[in-house]
Amino acid sequence: MSLKQPLIFIVSGETSGDNLAGRLMAALNAETDGRVRFAGIGGPQSEAEGLTSLFPMRELSLIGLAEVLPHLPRLIKRLNQTAEAALALKPDAVVTVDSPGFCLRLADRLRDSGIPIVHYVAPQLWAWRPGRARKLATRVDRLMVLLPFEVPFFAGYGIKSIFVGHPAIESDPGDGPGFRARHGIPAEATLLCVLPGSRAGEARRMLPVFGAALGLIKQNHPDLRVVIPVADTVTETVSLLTREWPFPVVLAKMADRFDAFAASDAAMAKSGTVTLELALADVPMVVAYRVSPATAFLVRRMGVGVEHASLVNLLAGREVVPEFLQEDCTAERVAFGVEALLDSGETREAQRRGFREVVAALGEAHPGPSERAAKVVLDVIASREHESESIQVES
């Protein structure tokens, strides 16, 4: 297939990956004047850029041993289906986005196909079991990383990785007053943004903790309002788990999250990409996370090589935002952390100073990370085409 109209097989397995894939696809469309074609798996953001997903992305939005095991036969079936589709289409490149449990197994299935494989968002092997990076080197042709310290780490294992930057820095600032006006939230009301995660299992684990914490916070902040940006994959679950909460709750679309951030006084968030988005939006936060006991046991057995869970703290190299993880993830501790933010301008400003360090570590926004990632993908395709042409000439 000519580079003039490349076919790219792109796969994302959860909301955060779909957001990255959608931005990458938009950049690829811009770089090729709309001549690129897509196939693969994705959610609403990818579909908005022209992808018809092989099957609903939500089927892959699972995390942790306890959640994955009951669905393992279906996941294997979907993995086989995806690999067969990619082999049948013979795309110019396969781009897998995050979701390493599924995506890197797919890459393993395709590694002898001759199709270039680019993985976007490095698995956090620097946090635990770094030796597994050797296996990654046999699975992918390029690794596009979001964090600057990842390049030297993966280079040590012979993996050609390229720092493209984190697409969160491309986010719009958001319209806080407009969001409050649209949802009838008074300007003087205390608005807390709650982010339980984009998977149903995460929402079921985190929302009871967050709901109980909000009940404690409301005792000292009777005007408390809550907004929850919700991914389509968990709208029903979140609605069910929050319908008995004794205070006003706005369920906002994930696409409106930056407006919600701009409108909020503080946030309580599950650890993940969203913590970086909150930092870029200058929203003070506490971070919490809890996995199943079985998953926690396995992670501890593997050994954790980093001191922090949130991207904000990892990039700053210190604790900028408080983290309440596993046994420490209790309503009382989360409520205490949030109230410290609501009651102390000094505490909020200390976090914001840390946020500025994080922004500096992420580098320049021009050209944007998605544009840089698009150029990497197209360069990989062009290089493979050049190699094929050279072989034909020599023959």
Strand extents, DSSP E, 220-301:
225-230, 249-253, 266-270, 285-289
Please determine, for residue 66, whether its predicted confidence score (pLDDT) is greater than 70. Answer: no
User: Which of 65-79, 195-209, 257-271 has the lowest average pLDDT?
Assistant: 65-79
| One-letter identity of residue 260 | A
The confidence band for 26, taking pLDDT boundaries of 50, 70 and 90, is: very high
d(CA 119, CA 95): 6
| String of DSSP letters for 101-146 | HHHHHHHHHHTTS---EEEES---TTTS-GGGHHHHHTT-SEEEES
Helical H segments across 141-250, by residue range? 150-155, 176-182, 200-220, 235-242
Please determine, for residue 16, whether its predicted confidence score (pLDDT) is greater than 50. Answer: yes
Q: Which residues contact 182 (CB under 8 A, 6 or more apart)?
A: none
Task: Please name every residue paired with 324 in a beta bridge, in sequence order, or none if there are none.
Answer: 288
Enter the DSSP assignment of 323: E
Q: Which of 155, 125, 161, 124 is nearest to 140 (CA)?
A: 161
Burial of residue 122 (number of CB atoms within 10 Å: 0-12, 13-18, 19+): buried
d(CA 299, CA 14): 21
pLDDT value of position 388: 61
d(CA 235, CA 273): 19
Going along the chain from its start, the domains and CATH numbers come out as: 7-165+365-394 (3.40.50.2000), 176-362 (3.40.50.2000)
pLDDT tens digits for range 158-204:
999 999 998 888 888 899 999 999 999 999 999 999 999 888 888 99
Which structure tokens are listed for 276? 């970086």
User: Which of 168-177, 202-211, 215-224, 275-284 has the lowest average pLDDT?
Assistant: 168-177
Helix (H, G, I), strand (E, B) or coil at 147: coil
d(CA 52, CA 29): 16
What CA–CA distances, in Å, run from 78 to 81, 202, 382? 5, 22, 30
